């Protein structure tokens, strides 16, 4: 009989939040800080809530060393809103889009509605493994020609991560960091803007975070931009031009606080390497499982894998679920399996997954 | 010494949710339905979550008798997004906007970006009381001339409610019901679209609900509409074109279920009348407190009031807070006090408020 575990959730997002965060949130769900009130009920204009958001921003600034000439915004909705907002706010002449997968491509499609976009698909199949092509082969004009250069540091569906950033466009990068923000140190000044949906490394779905160079807000958005999609409007109103998603914002603050207490971003980076290496090594040493990504750009966050015999996929997923290893199904557009290993995933989750995969291989190999 | 109560929260939004809903949400926060998983962690593509949203939609359809030729959408963000979305989706020729207060006026301002708008300000000061002018005096063309007629059934800040709907534009109404949805029966077919931010009568902030005539989606949105603001795109993707605010959606479902268990919309309507009548009667019988709205359009949801001597406002708010009656401060744009009495407010909350107000008058009158 196979082993089972208390559930470990490998969902790509909404994804598991740190156990300590969830326990704290539950304990104060009906009674925050002895007030007898829930944070969920509290007006966003109450001093208590203002205190929460000020601490959340300060903690995020500390974690990512965000300089003062960058604004931090907390927005309703996920990263996909920004696919429209970015061109509406910043596309004046022409923009470059580095397309490394499904999400990068969605950003391209949306931007094309609003102006001139040069897009380059950089993911190549090299001997059966997906690889980000060397940037010397990317087809773009000189980066001076572009208002910004958009790229996707980690492709959640494909499992492709820029382990080393490109040089092209440094300083005017706009990066969709939805699935790898807070998992390694970044040099903010290389970016004009960073954005991330919350539901992977930050908090619950329905919130996104923007870090944007204040200077970029000066020239103003396209006049047809909905007010709530105008970054300057959001910045001028401290992300409260309208009622913000208060509970998600509070939870994001708990997550930032948790990361600080765990030791900060470098600890998150070490753990991410360790978790992903454990799983990649196991997969690489197996003839039964396969990861389709080249070593140079394997995601530390989202690890897709296939079985030698695809007809046993469903059995794998069913038995994994019975063993307490849930949400391992690959994205519907690519199939197979995917294990998402964000900051909140404990090492024990990866060990359990490897142990199960060994057992399953033994039974089915 | 004055009395005190376990806190009652009179916030206009985010506002209190029903106690039973909050207790259930807390009890299953870490372990939903025996799965060992939190709803917050669950992918929006999981069967368990799909089950939740299907029940939520079915319950809402039952509560408001929504016919099948209307789509129900659950959207990220609040009602203000729709101020842009409505003209982007439906303004082809010209639209009429009935402006009965601050929110109606915001809708006008945003719509004017996108096309021709006839707006009529209908709130008049009649002998020191605000009153919605009789519609025979509204200055509009024939309603045939308009793509839609926008109005705000309840103005949260002003405390002005259409206790009787106008006739003008019936059948092509677009209504911002953020602060009075689910508080009385409505005839859906009078409307092309109804929308509401969740954070008053539905659930936590960061979610809004749209009920829209499917036929209205056929002609398509302005080509510059961000995909996530295109109602047709949202409808075609069952409100999951991108990751939705899952936890808020789940809580909205719990609230719908709670309303059904309480006896449905007519029970909510009775309670709303009873709560607001209690407070209005007390105010009207006092020389110390004053409500600035005419009888014909007093909101059952948001009751603003002032003190005879404005210099004691701060003392009122401070002592009310100490007594457990919180968030009674009026909106910063109008000052004074405001008690919001949504579906979740128990009668005991209103009794407590009246008792406190009596005590305060005695001490300061």
Predicted confidence (pLDDT) per residue in B182-202, tens digit:
999 999 999 999 999 999 999
The stretches of chain A forming alpha helices (DSSP H) are 19-27, 47-64, 80-90, 102-111, 231-236, 246-262, 265-284, 313-322, 347-364
Strand partners, A290: A306
CA B84/CA A291 separation, integer angstroms? 44
What does DSSP assign to residue B219? T
Closest partner residue to A42 (CB to CB) among B14, B44, B80 is B14
The 10s digit of each residue's pLDDT in B266-285 is 999 999 999 999 999 999 99
Nearest to B243 among A16, A205, A326 (CB): A205
Confirm whether A176 is a catalytic residue.
yes
Q: What are the strands of the beta sheet with A191-197, ordered from one edge?
A: A70-76, A207-213, A191-197, A173-176, A149-151, A94-99, A116-121
Query: What DSSP designation does B18 have?
Result: P
Measured CA to CA, the distance from residue B86 to residue B110 in angstroms comes to 10
Q: Is the pLDDT of residue A83 over 90?
A: yes
Closest CA to B109 of A234, A84, A228: A228
Q: Are B39 and B250 in contact (CB under 8 A)?
A: yes
Where does the pLDDT of residue A353 fall: very low under 50, low under 70, confident under 90, or very high at 90 and above? very high
Angle between helical axes of A347-364 and A265-284 (0-180°, round to 10) = 10
* Partner B contacted by A316 (CB < 8 A): no
Instruction: HSE, CB side, 13 Å, CA atoms: give it for residue A27.
Output: 9
Q: What integer is the mean pLDDT of A26-33?
A: 96
Which of these is catalytic: B176, B213, B216, B258?
B176
On average, the pLDDT of chain B sits at 97
The percentage of residues in chain B with a pLDDT greater than 70, rounded to a whole number, is: 100
Q: Are A162 and A38 in contact (CB under 8 A)?
A: no
Q: B134 CA to chain A: closest CA distance, Å?
A: 31
**Helix, strand, coil content of chain B in percent (nearest 5):** 40, 20, 40
Question: Contact at 8 Å (CB) between A47 and A53?
Answer: no
DSSP B309: S
Contact between B243 and A13 using a beta-carbon 8 Å cutoff: yes
CB neighbour list of residue B150: distance below 8 Å, 6 or more residues apart:
B86, B95, B96, B97, B98, B104, B107, B111, B173, B174, B175, B176
Residue A298 DSSP label: B
Q: Please list every residue in chain B whose beta carbon sits closer than 8 Å to the beta carbon of residue A205.
A: 44, 243-247
Cα-Cα-Cα-Cα dihedral sign, residues A33, A35, A36, A38: negative
Which pLDDT band, with edges at 50, 70 and 90, does B322 fall under? very high
Cβ-based neighbours of B174, under 8 Å, separated by 6 or more: B86, B90, B148, B149, B150, B151, B191, B192, B193, B194, B195
* Helix H or strand E segment including B71: strand B70-76
Q: How many whole angstroms separate alpha carbon B362 and alpha carbon A188?
A: 59
Burial of B337 (0-12, 13-18, 19+ CB in 10 A): buried
Distance CA A55, CA B364 (A): 39
Whether the per-residue pLDDT at A30 is higher than 80: the answer is yes
Span A168-183, average pLDDT: 98
Q: What is the pLDDT of residues B42-51, one digit of tens each?
A: 999 999 999 9
CB contact under 8 A, A226 and B197: no
Closest CA to B240 of B14, B64, B52: B52
Asked if B74 and B203 count as a contact pair (C-beta separation under 8 A), the reply is no
Question: What was the pLDDT predicted at B2?
Answer: 76
To the nearest 10 degrees (0 to 180), the angle between helices A246-262 and A265-284 is: 80
The DSSP H or E segment spanning B94 is strand B94-99
Interface of A with B in 173-212 (CB under 8 A): 197, 199, 204-207
A37-51 residues labelled b (16+ CB within 10 A) or e (exposed): bbbbbbbbbbeebee
Q: Is A80 on the interface with B (CB under 8 A)?
A: yes
B5 in contact with A at a CB cutoff of 8 Å?
Answer: no
Helix B246-262 with B19-27: angle, nearest 10 deg: 130
Give the count of beta carbons closer than 10 Å to the beta carbon of residue A93: 9
Instruction: Evaluate the omega torsion of the peptide bond into residue A14 and state whether it is cis, within 30 degrees of 0.
Output: yes
Give the CA angle between residues A323, A328, A332 to the nearest 5°.
145
B328 CB neighbours in chain A (<8 A) are none
| Phi, psi (rounded to 5 degrees) for A121 | -85, 120
Half-sphere exposure of A148 (CA within 13 A, CB side): 24
**Quick check: A94 and A116 in contact, CB under 8 A?**
yes
Q: 């409610």: which residue's tokens?
A: B161
Phi, psi (deg, nearest 5) at residue A45: -95, -5
Instruction: Give the C-alpha separation, B45 to A335, whole Å.
Output: 14
* Angle at CA of residue B279, ends B275 and B281, nearest 5°: 115
Q: Tell me the C-alpha distance between B344 and B339, whole Å.
A: 13
Say yes or no for a CB contact (<8 Å) between B247 and A23.
no
Which of B308, B217, B258, B236 is closest to B59 using CA atoms?
B258
For B266-289, the DSSP string reads HHHHHHHHHHHHHHHHHHHT-SSE
Which residues touch B52 (CB under 8 Å, ≥6 apart)?
A: B39, B249, B250, B253
What pTM value is reported for the model? 0.97
Q: Which of A59, A99, A147, A176 is catalytic?
A: A176
Q: Is-contact A224 B113, C-beta < 8 A?
A: yes
At residue A1, the pLDDT reads 54
The average pLDDT across B227-251 equals 97
Percent above pLDDT 90 for chain A: 96
B91 touches chain A (CB under 8 A): no
Q: Residues A245-275: pLDDT tens digits?
A: 999 999 999 999 999 999 999 999 999 999 9
Instruction: Say if residue B365's pLDDT is above 90.
Output: no
Measure the CA–CA gap between B365 and B359, rounded to whole angstroms.
Answer: 10
Three-state SS at B86: helix
pLDDT at B1 over 60: no
Tokens for B3, please give them.
Answer: 């009395």
Please compute, for residue B190, the number of CA atoms within 13 A of its CA located in the half-sphere on the CB side. 14
Structural tokens at position B98: 């009935």
| Nearest CA-CA partner of A160 in A270, A289, A300, A363 | A300
Q: Are A332 and B45 an interchain contact pair (Cβ–Cβ within 8 Å)?
A: yes
Q: Which residues contact B43 (CB under 8 A, 6 or more apart)?
A: A11, A12, A13, A14, A327, B49
Give whole-number Cα distances, B224 to A111, A112, A221, A247, in Å: 10, 10, 14, 31
| A118 φ/ψ angles, rounded to the nearest 5 degrees | -100, 115
pLDDT of residue A365: 81
C-alpha gyration radius of chain A? 21
CB within 8 Å: B205 and A88:
no
Contact indicator for B71, B87 with CB cutoff of 8 Å: no
Under DSSP, the state recorded for A325 is E
Whether residue A103 lies in the annotated active site = yes
The Cα-based distances of A322 to A348, A364, B289, B321, B363 in angstroms read 17, 17, 63, 51, 66
- Known catalytic residue at B176: yes
At residue A26, the 3 state secondary structure works out as helix
Bridge partners of residue A254, in order along the sequence: none
Mean of the per-residue pLDDT values of chain A: 97
Decide: helix, strand or coil at residue A118: strand
What DSSP designation does B16 have?
P
With beta carbons less than 8 A apart as the criterion, state whether B196 and B202 touch: yes
pLDDT for A202-212, tens place per residue? 999 999 999 99
């Amino acid at each position: 009989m196979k082993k089972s575990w208390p559930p470990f959730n490998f969902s790509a997002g909404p994804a598991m939040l740190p156990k300590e965060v969830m326990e704290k949130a539950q304990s104060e769900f009906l009674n925050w800080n002895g007030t007898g009130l829930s944070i969920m009920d509290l007006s966003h204009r109450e001093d208590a809530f203002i205190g929460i958001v000020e601490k959340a921003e300060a903690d995020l600034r500390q974690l990512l060393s965000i300089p003062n000439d960058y604004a931090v915004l907390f927005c309703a909705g996920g990263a996909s809103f920004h696919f429209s907002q970015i061109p509406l706010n910043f596309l004046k002449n022409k923009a470059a889009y580095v397309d490394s997968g499904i999400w990068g491509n969605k950003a391209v499609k949306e931007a094309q509605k609003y102006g001139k976009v040069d897009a380059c698909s950089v993911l190549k199949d090299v001997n059966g493994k997906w690889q980000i092509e060397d940037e010397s082969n990317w087809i773009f004009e000189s980066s001076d020609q572009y208002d910004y250069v958009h790229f996707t540091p980690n492709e959640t569906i494909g499992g492709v991560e820029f382990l080393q950033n490109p040089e092209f466009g440094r300083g005017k990068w706009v990066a969709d960091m939805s699935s790898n923000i807070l998992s390694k140190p970044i040099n903010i000044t290389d970016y004009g803007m960073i954005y991330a949906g919350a539901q992977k490394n930050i908090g619950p779905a329905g919130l996104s975070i923007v870090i944007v160079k204040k200077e970029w807000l000066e020239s103003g958005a396209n006049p047809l931009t909905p007010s709530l999609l105008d970054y300057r409007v959001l910045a001028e109103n401290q992300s409260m031009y309208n009622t913000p998603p208060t509970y998600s914002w509070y939870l994001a603050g708990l997550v930032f606080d948790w990361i600080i207490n765990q030791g900060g971003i470098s600890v998150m980076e070490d753990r991410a390497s360790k978790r992903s290496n454990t799983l990649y090594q196991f997969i690489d040493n197996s003839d039964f499982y396969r990861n389709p990504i080249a070593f140079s750009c394997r995601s530390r966050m989202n690890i897709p894998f296939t079985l030698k015999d695809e007809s046993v996929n469903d059995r794998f997923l069913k038995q994994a679920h019975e063993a307490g290893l849930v949400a391992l199904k690959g994205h519907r557009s690519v199939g197979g399996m995917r294990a998402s290993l964000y900051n909140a995933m404990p090492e024990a989750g990866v060990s359990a997954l490897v142990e199960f995969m060994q057992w399953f291989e033994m039974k089915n190999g």
